[in-house]
Structure 1
Amino acid sequence: MLRILLGVNLTALAAALVQSRGIGEWMDRYIEMAAWVQPLLLINLALLGLFARAVRLLPARWGQSAVVLLAVLSALLQFDFWRFMGLEDGGWQSCARAAMLAALAAGGMLSYFEMRARMFSPALAEARVQALTARIRPHFLFNSLNAVLSLIRSEPGRAEAALEELADLFRALMRDHRDLLPLADEIALCRQYLDLEKLRLGDRLNVEWEVEAVPADVVVPPLMLQPLLENAVYHGIEPSGEPGTIRIGFARKGGELHVWLVNPCAGGAETAKGNRMALSNIRERLALYYDLEARLETREETLPDGSRAYRVFIVLPCRGSPP
């Protein structure tokens, strides 16, 4: 809706510039044109929102034709209403022009959305590749295997459990990542990852989870949190040499899912670079899945004890799993 509002209004602004005799008349001409365009645009958006489900059931070309026909009919009805009110005295040529302009505006927006869909059609498949680029670093595999080897004789049961978790983790990384998955699965994957890092870091790594009344069927992009947790471990806990705590929280606020992650801030150029790489990857995948409905924010903050922390805050539309 935002793109339609902007697109049609920018088109009207350009048309007003072409029709005006000078820059001074530009805005006056646009205001006159907006009196025609805005009611028509809002009525069409309301009708499309009301009948969106029915339109989606039609074949693509039939649906596009229905949208153009709706724009033409609404333009004709509006023109007839203005003429009935005495605000327009044009004949059939003016009526035909209004219908043609409405059809061109609707067709132009539909062409834009079709072109955009074609541009992004490989992007959903590419999301799988992007998710794999946010994979666990190779040295994590070697470190985890070395940690398991050190436990084989002293704690064989714990070593066996760690190998099973490692296998589950890499199996999750290699599966198809085009579809959303339940939040519970993402949390389980993150717990497995942190358990493996706990083998290596011991008491230096502490984790606090906060989950506030999040429905079990809420779905999220796969591997949304693991790259952020990996950054938190490698750039927040490991460089400091001191025990540190990673805090992860989830909460539902109306129709949104709020996710936050806080880790100690060790600072340094390498930390900033590593964070930017993972954050860019997450932002790109959120845009692929949710377009403008999701956002990701980061900031450094000072905790009550005077230490510095790095906070990542993510907002997603709260969607349930498909039936």
Structure 2
Amino acid sequence: MEDTQILSTLPEQDPANERSSPAPVLVFDACQIGVVLRALLFVEAAIGVVTLYGSPDALAWLSQLSLVTGGALPAVLAWLLLTCMSKRLLARIPVFLQYTLATLLGGVVALYGCGLLAFTGLVASPPWLASFASGVFLSGVVVGGLVLRAKGRTPAHTAARLAELQSRIQPHFLFNTLNSAIALVRAEPAKAEALLEDLSDLFRHALMDRTESVTLADEIALARRYLDIEQVRFGDRLQLEWNLDPQADGARLPPLLLQPLVENAVRHGVEPSDTGAMVRISTQRRGSVVVIKVSNTVPAGPGRAGAGEALRNVRERLALLHDVQGRFSSGMRDGVFQVRMEVPV
């Protein structure tokens, strides 16, 4: 075995890298459709409440709401566009300056919206100061919400990694894998070596530090490692069918997202069945969306019900990364349990 030996699962640390400056950190990201929709709805709701104070009846309120929206909507879209385009620049500056610039930009674009109303003659006496203050306040609230959402990724991601690490080192899984390797050492040493290399890679991926997302191709490669190990254990009982679209390989997923799904398929489909089960993994690109499916046949009878923790974990992590652009569904139909995910390219 070369560099994939079990004893080399932990990467060596370079002292020079430890002394290097920390990586840029962006405390908020406005480049998602879900963020755009929420920001627009929040600003529109705030305008609706404020305009109620100066409106004697519903008709006057609608008229005032339409007038203010005409200036606020372009301003909000301009703020979202500018913050999205400059996110790489913002990531290079201190966190305090990121907050400051984002809120001041909110005031500037609010002046832009007020200027549009003044230019069109809809407002006789433009409220410049009030517009600037409102823009600063509303952008500050939006930034605060985005920061809280970004911070929500960290505990969920860490807990997910710990849960996946625990599943890798469960005694029965490790015992069964090593037992299979021992049985192959004399009869098929090359196969035993390949089995231990797959186990080594699983541990490496569980222990290594990860970024926020990885490619679908990386997740497919890791799932293949896991299924190769289980194939040795179950033999013909584990029937695999891959239907992969190369154009979907570049889609981004949270790390260690696909493997628990195939692990569930083995545990609840293959393991309790004397005759085995069929596990299917498919990917397909449809325009700007990639569809990922993991399905398995389920043996007849009561079976072994799970707590659904892995599915909830996957759903939450997918939502944290892709927000409304990521979709997750699961269910049983005609003796087949299927998990279906959609992610943007």
The letter of the residue matching 1:314 is M
Task: Decide whether the 8 Å contact of 1:297 with 1:314 is kept in 2.
Answer: yes
- Partners in 1 of 2:253 and 2:107 — Cα distance? 40
The aligned counterpart of 1:161 is: 194
The aligned counterpart of 2:310 is: 278
Picking from 224, 234, 239, the partner of 1:206 is: 239
The aligned counterpart of 1:4 is: 39
CA positional deviation for 1:141: 1.4
- Partners in 2 of 1:149 and 1:229 — Cα distance? 25
Picking from 61, 76, 88, the partner of 2:123 is: 88
The aligned counterpart of 2:130 is: 97
Task: Decide whether the 8 Å contact of 2:160 with 2:313 is kept in 1.
Answer: no
1:261 counterpart SS class: strand
RMSD: 3.1
CA positional deviation for 1:313: 0.7
The letter of the residue matching 1:89 is A
Deviation per CA, 1:34-84, whole angstroms, max 9, x where unpaired? 431354233431454156333641435445444444443444454455445
The aligned counterpart of 2:28 is: none
Task: Decide whether the 8 Å contact of 1:247 with 1:262 is kept in 2.
Answer: yes
Structure 1 residue 311 and structure 2 residue 343: aligned?
Answer: no
- The 1:33/1:317 distance shift into structure 2, 3 A limit, reads same
2:274 counterpart SS class: coil
- Partners in 2 of 1:199 and 1:80 — Cα distance? 70
Structure 1 residue 252 and structure 2 residue 280: aligned?
Answer: no
2:306 counterpart SS class: helix
- Partners in 1 of 2:175 and 2:233 — Cα distance? 11
Task: Decide whether the 8 Å contact of 2:55 with 2:64 is kept in 1.
Answer: no
CA positional deviation for 1:27: 8.1
The aligned counterpart of 1:264 is: 297
CA positional deviation for 1:19: 5.2
The aligned counterpart of 1:289 is: 321
What TM-score do you get using the length of structure 2 for normalisation? Answer: 0.75
Picking from 51, 67, 85, the partner of 1:53 is: 85
Task: Decide whether the 8 Å contact of 1:125 with 1:178 is kept in 2.
Answer: no
- The 1:171/1:82 distance shift into structure 2, 3 A limit, reads closer
CA positional deviation for 1:243: 3.2
Task: Decide whether the 8 Å contact of 1:56 with 1:63 is kept in 2.
Answer: no
Q: More displaced, 125-134 or 202-211? A: 125-134
CA positional deviation for 1:234: 1.0
Structure 1 residue 148 and structure 2 residue 181: aligned?
Answer: yes
CA positional deviation for 1:9: 2.1
Structure 1 residue 72 and structure 2 residue 107: aligned?
Answer: yes
Deviation per CA, 1:107-153, whole angstroms, max 9, x where unpaired? 22223333444454555555533543554643121122222233334
Larger RCO, structures 1/2 (Cα 8 Å, 6+ apart): 2
- The 1:270/1:36 distance shift into structure 2, 3 A limit, reads farther
Where in structure 2 are the equivalents of 1:87-236 lying within 5 Å? 87-90=122-125, 94-118=127-151, 120-121=153-154, 123-133=156-166, 135=168, 137-214=170-247, 217-236=250-269
CA positional deviation for 1:310: 0.6
2:285 counterpart SS class: strand
- Partners in 1 of 2:120 and 2:193 — Cα distance? 82
Count of residue pairs the alignment pairs up: 307
2:290 counterpart SS class: strand
Deviation per CA, 1:162-192, whole angstroms, max 9, x where unpaired? 2222222222222223343343332222222
The aligned counterpart of 2:73 is: 41
CA positional deviation for 1:259: 0.9
- Partners in 2 of 1:205 and 1:27 — Cα distance? 67
1:279 counterpart SS class: helix
The aligned counterpart of 1:321 is: none
What TM-score do you get using the length of structure 1 for normalisation? Answer: 0.80
- Partners in 2 of 1:104 and 1:222 — Cα distance? 36
- The 1:283/1:142 distance shift into structure 2, 3 A limit, reads same
The letter of the residue matching 2:177 is S
- Partners in 2 of 1:227 and 1:74 — Cα distance? 45
The aligned counterpart of 2:23 is: none
